[in-house]
């Protein structure tokens, strides 16, 4: 009879120590295995070279390591790398390495598909299959760190949760993954270099604040006019801008960390003066910065990138009101590798 093996990375260090004691071995073996799994990123028990053959065979008889596999990889002329990541059950998600001259950023997924219904988002057209486990999120980061070292000569510097899925609808697993990523027993990255992007779930934003998280928060806003936001992001009818505003004010009161608004300007949707004025007003509720994002159209429909004049009008109005604004140009256009929620899907 075939044993249904448990993924060993679902065990805590304490549980691993207890397992070895139950097998008549020393507890410190659990520490060794834990280091191989998280700090060294072992893909198999065979990799654990400081364990005896008998110990490795015993682990193999009882557990599996459901490590992700890079099923496809495309490298852009600008150095961007797009990964099609295959999970242990055959499902596919995407992660992207985004380089600049001074750093590399990992854009990672948190769900297979998405349960939200943002009209402009390719992932929203995919049915949400399941949440990613903490180790599957961790593996994306570890893989991109290795790609950064191999292709750009330095380790990964930043992480953004802007890939497939809504991170705050996979709250516990995202939190657990970040704990591993920032732990000295994991990748040891600073939480200040991690940004979690949400489409705007007020209750969960408040929970982040109550939990005292140290990473940064970004909100996919795209319009500060209720009617417009509801049209392009229909689920927000249940989460009005007043609730979002209150949640962000609560976030700042607890964390003293400014919010980043992710904002795409579309032709004939939010490229008018009323939209600009509404954004400026909304930005005054809490300290913030605005990322104006270049859009990659997913088809020939209503969502098309606005012209440069609209972008310049937004920049001028925001800067006039002392609001920090940055224009994020799309990367990896030749391989269709825009990050995450705004991504073209091949």
Q: Is 114 annotated as contributing to ligand binding?
A: yes
CA atoms of 67 and 133, how far apart (whole Å): 11
d(CA 27, CA 59): 14
Q: Which residue bears the tokens 């459901």?
A: 66
Nearest to 215 by CA among 159, 169, 292: 159
For 96-111, b/e burial (b = at least 16 CB within 10 A) is bbbbeeeebbbbbbbb
Residue 166 annotated as part of some ligand binding site: yes
User: Can you tell me the distance from the alpha carbon of 189 to that of 159, in angstroms, rounded to the nearest whole number?
Assistant: 9
Q: Any known ligand binding at 220?
A: yes
Is 107 annotated in the active site?
no
Helices (H), the chain: 13-22, 28-38, 53-62, 134-152, 171-182, 202-210, 226-232, 241-255, 273-283, 308-320
290 SS3 class: strand
Query: Residue 56 and residue 257: Cα distance in Å, rounded?
Result: 45
Residue 222 marked ligand-binding: yes
Q: Which of 107, 283, 288, 339 is catalytic?
A: 339
The reply, when asked if residue 118 is annotated as ligand binding, is yes
Instruction: Give the strand pairing for 111-112 and 130-131.
Output: antiparallel
3-class DSSP string for 216-249: EEEEECCCCCHHHHHHHCHHHHHCCHHHHHHHHH
324 vs 330: CA distance, rounded Å: 19
Is 94 annotated as catalytic? Answer: yes
> Is 296 known as a binding-site position?
yes
Q: Which residue has the tokens 């600008």?
A: 78
Question: Given the structure tokens 């000569």, which residue do they identify?
Answer: 153
Dig out the tokens for 128 from the structure. Answer: 């949400």
Can you say whether residue 185 is alpha, beta or left, with left for phi > 0 and alpha for psi between -120 and 50 degrees?
A: alpha
Which is the catalytic residue, given 46, 57, 94, 288?
94
Known binding positions for S-adenosyl-L-methionine? 165-166, 197, 220-222, 296
Known binding positions? 114, 118, 121, 165-166, 197, 220-222, 296
Catalytic residues, by residue number, are 94, 339
Known binding positions for [4Fe-4S] cluster? 114, 118, 121
């Amino acid at each position: 009879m075939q044993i249904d093996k448990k993924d060993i990375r679902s065990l805590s260090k304490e549980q691993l120590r207890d397992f070895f004691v139950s097998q008549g071995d020393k507890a410190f073996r659990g520490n060794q295995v834990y280091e191989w799994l998280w700090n060294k990123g072992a893909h198999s028990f065979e990799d654990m070279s400081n364990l005896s053959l008998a110990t490795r065979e015993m682990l193999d008889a009882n557990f599996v390591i459901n490590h992700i596999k890079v099923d496809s990889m495309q490298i852009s002329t600008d150095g961007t790398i797009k990964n099609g990541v295959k999970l242990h059950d055959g499902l596919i998600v995407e992660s992207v390495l985004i380089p600049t001259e001074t750093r590399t950023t990992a854009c990672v997924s948190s769900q297979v598909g998405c349960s939200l219904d943002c009209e402009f988002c390719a992932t929203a057209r995919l049915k949400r299959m399941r949440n990613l486990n903490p180790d599957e999120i961790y593996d994306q980061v570890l893989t991109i760190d290795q790609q950064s070292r191999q292709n750009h000569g330095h380790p990964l510097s930043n992480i953004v949760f802007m890939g497939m899925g809504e991170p705050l609808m996979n709250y516990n697993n995202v939190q657990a993954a970040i704990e591993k990523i920032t732990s000295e027993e994991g990748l040891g990255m600073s939480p200040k270099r991690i940004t979690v992007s949400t489409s705007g779930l007020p209750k969960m934003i408040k929970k982040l604040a109550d939990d005292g998280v140290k990473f940064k928060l970004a909100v996919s806003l795209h319009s500060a006019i209720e009617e417009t936001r509801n049209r392009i992001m229909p689920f927000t009818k249940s989460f009005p801008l007043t609730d979002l505003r209150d949640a962000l004010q609560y976030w700042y009161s607890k964390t003293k960390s400014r919010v980043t608004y992710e904002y795409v300007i579309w032709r004939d949707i939010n490229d008018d003066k009323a939209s600009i004025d509404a954004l400026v007003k909304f930005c005054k509720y809490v300290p913030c910065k605005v990322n104006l994002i270049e859009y990659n159209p997913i088809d020939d429909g209503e969502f098309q990138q606005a012209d440069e004049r609209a972008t310049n009008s937004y920049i001028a109005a925001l800067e006039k009101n002392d609001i920090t604004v940055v224009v994020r140009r799309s990367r990896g256009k030749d391989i269709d590798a825009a990050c995450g929620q705004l991504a073209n899907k091949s």
